[in-house]
Amino acid sequence: MTTIDTNPNVMTLTNVFRVDPSHCDELVALLTTATTDTIADLPGFVSANIHRSDDNSTVVNYAQWTSRTDYQAMLENPAVQPHLQEAAEVAESFDPIIATVVHSTSRT
């Protein structure tokens, strides 16, 4: 289970993929496979959470890494790059946002 709070030792990647709705299933499947087969074993991986929009036009990956250095190393890892290229080909665009949680409120 993934948790969100203002832990300063976690960075967040929110990657917003736009996709032709007819390719949404394919994009979800390849991001899931990239995560479970390769990315989840890399140093600094904390979590990846794949979301499908109601209209199938958008896939959001909400991912957490221990550090920006580990995230950058993942992007440059030869085992990961074919997965990233495949996602870039299936998606129409992607927009990775590197951020920090500055506020969290949850119903208790």
79 CB contacts (<8 Å, ≥6 apart)? Answer: 38
- When the beta carbons of 76 and 103 are compared against its own copies, the nearer one is 103
Least CB distance from residue 74 to its own copies, whole Å?
Answer: 13
Least CB distance from residue 95 to its own copies, whole Å?
Answer: 8
In angstroms, the Cα distances linking 17 to 1, 34, 66, 100, 107 are: 23, 15, 23, 20, 29
Least CB distance from residue 89 to its own copies, whole Å?
Answer: 20
Site of interaction with its own copies (CB under 8 A):
1-5, 12, 14, 16, 28, 31-32, 35-36, 40, 45-54, 58, 60, 62, 68, 95, 97-107
Residue 74 φ/ψ region, left for φ over 0, alpha for ψ in the -120 to 50 degree band, beta for the rest = alpha
